[in-house]
Amino acid sequence: MSTTSQPAPPRQYRKPLVRVLQVAVHLGALLPLVWLFYAIPRGALGGDPVKELIHFLGLGALRLLLLTLLVSPLARGLGFGQLIRLRRPLGLWCFAWACLHFATWLSLDLAFAWGLIGDELVKRTYILLGFSAWLILAVLALTSFPALVRRLGRRWKTLHSLIYPALLLVCVHFWWSLKSGWIEPAIYLSLALGLLWFRRRLLPWPRKLPATSKP
């Protein structure tokens, strides 16, 4: 498959367009959180707001994870390397949403009852899978600073390929967490598998991105 045949925006518009997209990423990730502050006291989350909040934040984190993984193949497919600049903010926002999801469960659902939290981690496999995915995201977020990227060199790419198992862990965590219904998690799992396939076709492994694409 040719990866350079797609039209990229003219060169002079690329930098401003990336800036606009970066602002859109920040607003798109931040505004729903601001909305929560407005919605929760007004009962917009329904009869079981804690459960709804966990769902809202978990789904948001998963969507941000999928978007993060979409950036490199899009940049390659469109021949628009600077799009890569969206990858780090998207990844960090994904981690922020995952932290809020985790924190809601720890604080509002289990009221920091550490014994119970330990029990849940041991007894409920889907919690353990979610926690494993969160740990991976934490490592990826902490090693995403430019100085560390330079320092780790090629090892950075190897380390950051942990994002693939993290995505699969989250999809299984989602599926397993449901008491009934499978269509929604099946859609997300299909999207994840489709995205991994798409990346495999567009980005030879080990990936060789253009020089402009360093985060």
Q: Write out the residues near ligand HEM by the rule CB under 6 A.
A: 54-55, 58-59, 61-62, 65, 98, 101-102, 105, 127, 130-131, 133-134, 137, 170, 173-174, 177
CB nearer to ligand HEM: pick between 90 and 170: 170
76 contacts 64 by C-beta, under 8 angstroms: no
What is the dihedral angle through the alpha carbons of 144, 170, 57, 197, rounded to the nearest 10 degrees? 70
Minimum CB–partner distance for residue 59 and ligand HEM (Å): 5
Minimum CB–partner distance for residue 107 and ligand HEM (Å): 11
172 contacts 158 by C-beta, under 8 angstroms: no
Minimum CB–partner distance for residue 148 and ligand HEM (Å): 21
Distance, CA of 80 to CA of 11 (rounded, Å): 9
CB nearer to ligand HEM: pick between 83 and 98: 98
CB nearer to ligand HEM: pick between 88 and 173: 173
Minimum CB–partner distance for residue 9 and ligand HEM (Å): 31
Supply angle C-alpha 31, 33, 35, rounded to 5: 70
CB nearer to ligand HEM: pick between 184 and 210: 184
